[in-house]
Chain A
């Protein structure tokens, strides 16, 4: 039986469990003079048996599904004659892959060796057994639990506290998923990075000036030893982000000020959502815009005035990234500016200041921490932005601060190193995780810092 059908069947059983227990509790109660004599409402007895039916089975299913491949693999490999089992782990994986493909019918049987065919048919057999046993065991388990749950229904059993307790635990687990995600992220980048730093010293990576991640595939190859100095990537990332901020901060800030301090309600209700459209556009669209429209226009413009602008210049990617960030800055700035108490404005205006003087001397200084926090958040977003730079910035790791040149960024390199087929233990692949670690740490610091500032600021005026 397919897993999805099985899950559906189990859900049906749980629905059945709900109604049988509920009805049972009602019939138990009716002998004693109505449901008032029960310690809990009938639906709680139903919920109790649903939980009792589903929780053990779903734990069992999760464990079985995550382990059965590994167990089957072990069992199959045990039966393969010893001389065919390779010792190198990559060859071993290859063999397992081949056997799996044969058993799934992806590779036709006439082009394989006899022992592989044997192994594949063994694998097929084990998989069939696994599928059967998972179906039978889980249904039996559900039925048993259902029986136990219905037996529990009585006036002496209070279902409500049990149910509420269990549900609260489930809610807690959901809330912890976010924590697990963070731990998962840290583990996934940290472990590979540690492996990377065993091959390439940490300081060579952080302070090295040359980036060319081409490592030799064979050991006797010449010339491509690879160098992993990440400074050009850091500089490129910062350069593009700076261009973006130079465009986004003034436009975002000025439009936020205008919309919250000057604009009439009509203008505001139209212009604000219109600007926010920019925030909803996928980054891949911005990337397209940068690569197909902005970059050629900039290059032609450069040619006409005698400037040499690369077709994958930092300027084009940064400018478009700036457009992307405008609504981000303007919405945060709008929030913090409207949080400034009206009395402060009134005080300033009453002293005879013009409106722009009020904004410049009173509102902005009061809102400054919030604005700075917003700018830092926007900066972190610019640093982590991927698609625009993948499509519009180059791959050449030039160490330059000239925005007219092509530069590459951390995220571009992560994508290029990890898309396509790769060996998992080569320095080239691991380098991507080291870059990921850098990216994660830097954005995390920026975020924590910025969120702290914004939070402090909010508390100030609450």
Chain B
């Protein structure tokens, strides 16, 4: 090699090594950006949502005085319907701040506590009439604006846009007396949806998700597994089988919203299934997850070595017996993992459910498969659309719950795969 060439190579080597280093840095940057997105997403949601697990409560001394709320006979529960239960809290607030006299100010004062408080009193006294005439010191849920302000004030970044200066003064007074505090928000886990952010809970959505998911699993898992068995073990190799295969692969990539259109046009308009019910949501989600389950189940069946089948056939088992007694049990762990991953996807799915009316505002907690219901991701979507600032916190908290369910399911799937899957 001539000296010139060697110099040339030496020269270019520097450039090439630099290119090599740069390329590696780009790779690291790619991974880092991806991971940064994960971290950012989680930090953002957790920091926004952790507040919702605690709510602001105000300590009030409530006197259960039937006259104050317009009840003449405490045994006549029909009067309960029209009684002004909220007055119990209002009266107690007036006693706490006797100097407030003007009507407008009084109303502001009354707004400190949640408007749904009255219903709690009604439920309590209907259950336990012996409370009438007694006094009780209770922690009452504060209004959502108060809640937002108090939390932001505790964080030294007060958000007072929706409060008057008097209200802020009262909160200061309450705080100095120790009558206002953050407590664990049990209502969030006990209630259905509500227009009042402080009263809104996710129990309704959780139950709805549960019913929908159970039905989805019951429909899609048996169907997916049997379809996979047919395609892997029994199907003749011909055009029809090819068509089914291509079709399944494409169906797995069809946008989920299209399945919503299917549900709307076929199941609601043609078959007349009522809107908003878990049965309908489950049908749509089952059809949507079916291709995924078929594909993973087929992979699981494929991983069973042919020698197992040959051995079974060799000792005289029929094809059907070979499949049922040997192939199926051996591939079941893989199928289960696939099913769990499919269910996790169904649990997080929103778009098709919007099409079939599961976005309705539903306060009642569903009691069965045919009660109108909403599901967790749709509830999240509904809350984001609400204008009240306090719903941002609720939404994040609901997302935290949804994500923890999803993570739990994925961990179970990974565990099952590690634990049960056999390597041949």
Contacts and interface: CB of A to CB of B under 8 A. Distances in A.
A415 B257 CA distance: 8
B247 A288 contact: no
B257 A289 contact: no
B253 A288 contact: no
Contacts of A232: none
B247 A253 contact: no
A254 B251 contact: no
A167 to B, nearest CB: 7
B258 A439 contact: yes
Nearest to A429: B264
B230 A285 contact: no
A330 B34 contact: yes
B255 A356 contact: no
Contacts of B378: 284
A179 interface: yes
B254 A251 contact: no
A285 B344 contact: no
A4 B248 CA distance: 31
Nearest to B348: A282
Interface string A248-279: 00111111011101110000000100110110
Interface in B51-101: none
B227 A386 contact: no
Contacts of B256: 384, 386
B350 interface: yes
Contact of A288 (B224, B258, B359, B380): B380
A254 B30 contact: yes
Nearest to A289: B41
A426 interface: no
Contact of B384 (A262, A282, A391): A391
Interface in B215-258: 222-224, 226-227, 229-231, 234-235, 243-244, 246-251, 253-258
Nearest to B287: A181
A343 interface: no
A327 B272 CA distance: 40
A412 to B, nearest CB: 10
B380 A285 contact: yes
A283 B266 contact: no
Contacts of B10: none
A43 B173 CA distance: 79
B294 interface: yes
A136 B223 CA distance: 29
A182 B406 CA distance: 28
A288 B227 CA distance: 37
Nearest to B294: A178
A451 B250 contact: yes
A274 B36 CA distance: 10
Contacts, number: 261
Contacts of B235: 175
Contact of A444 (B24, B222, B254, B287): B254
A178 B227 contact: yes
Interface in B151-193: none
A380 B34 contact: no
A197 to B, nearest CB: 16
B20 A355 contact: yes
A436 B258 contact: yes
Nearest to B357: A419
A354 interface: yes
A281 B249 contact: no
Interface stretch (B114-122, B124-132, B194-202, B395-403): B395-403
B31 A283 contact: no
Interface in A182-240: 182, 184-185, 187-189, 191-192
A440 interface: yes
Interface in A274-313: 274-275, 277-278, 280-285, 287-289, 291-293
B1 interface: no
Contacts of B271: 66
Interface in B1-50: 16-17, 19-20, 22-24, 26-31, 33-35, 37-38, 41, 44-45, 48
A167 B328 CA distance: 15
Nearest to B368: A4
A170 interface: yes
B19 A356 contact: yes
A359 interface: yes
A289 B45 contact: yes
B290 interface: yes
Nearest to B288: A181
Given A175-B244, A284-B381, A380 B262 contact: no
A338 interface: no
A384 B255 contact: yes
A56 B14 CA distance: 80
A429 to B, nearest CB: 10
Given A178-B291, A255-B27, A284-B380, A164 B320 contact: yes
Given A255-B34, A283-B350, A285-B403, A414 B247 contact: no
Nearest to A248: B34
A188 B265 contact: yes
B381 A387 contact: yes
Given A163-B320, A257-B30, 12 more contacts: A168-B320, A171-B230, A254-B29, A258-B31, A259-B31, A275-B34, A278-B41, A281-B348, A283-B350, A391-B381, A418-B261, A451-B250
Top 9 closest pairs, chain A to chain B, by CB: A384-B255, A258-B27, A282-B348, A254-B30, A188-B265, A356-B23, A171-B230, A386-B351, A255-B30
Interface of B: 16-17, 19-20, 22-24, 26-31, 33-35, 37-38, 41, 44-45, 48, 222-224, 226-227, 229-231, 234-235, 243-244, 246-251, 253-262, 264-266, 269, 271-272, 287, 290-291, 294, 318-320, 344, 347-351, 354-355, 359, 369, 377-378, 380-381, 384, 392, 395-396, 399, 402-403, 406-407, 410
28 contacts: A164-B318, A164-B319, A171-B226, A174-B227, A177-B223, A188-B261, A252-B30, A258-B28, A258-B31, A275-B35, A278-B41, A280-B406, A281-B41, A282-B348, A284-B380, A285-B399, A288-B45, A292-B392, A326-B34, A354-B16, A380-B253, A385-B255, A386-B351, A390-B354, A414-B355, A436-B257, A436-B258, A439-B257
